[in-house]
Amino acid sequence: MGQLSSYFDHKVAVTDQYGNVHEGLLDDIGDGTISVQKRISGGTFTAHLPTDSITAVEVRVREKVKTKQSAAQYTVAQEPKPDDAQSGAQ
């Protein structure tokens, strides 16, 4: 549970011993409970779940991924060299 405290205000999915999945924002960890804030119509609801009844916790984190340039994009981006034998007029 120690590493989990660095994910406050991140989306989490907490599974309890009965198989219920509580999805929402990680709100608090302490005194034997994990608090998950859920959105409901008209506002929010905070579920305080006892840590001894929790079987799994998933943290949903977004990371920016660098895209690789495809071979087609790479060849279009290159200019032909004047001394290249294939680029000259035939």
Q: What is the pLDDT of residue 70?
A: 62
Distance CA 80, CA 13 (A): 53
pTM of the model: 0.64
Specify the fold of 3-61.
Answer: SH3 type barrels. (2.30.30)
| Contact between residue 64 and residue 48 where contact means Cβ atoms under 8 Å apart | no
Mean of pLDDT over the chain? 81
pLDDT digits (tens, 9 = 90+) for 27-70: 999 889 999 999 988 899 999 999 999 999 999 887 788 877 66
Q: What is the pLDDT of residue 75?
A: 54
Kindly list the domain boundaries of the chain, sorted by start residue.
Answer: 3-61
| Contact between residue 48 and residue 29 where contact means Cβ atoms under 8 Å apart | no
Distance CA 18, CA 15 (A): 8
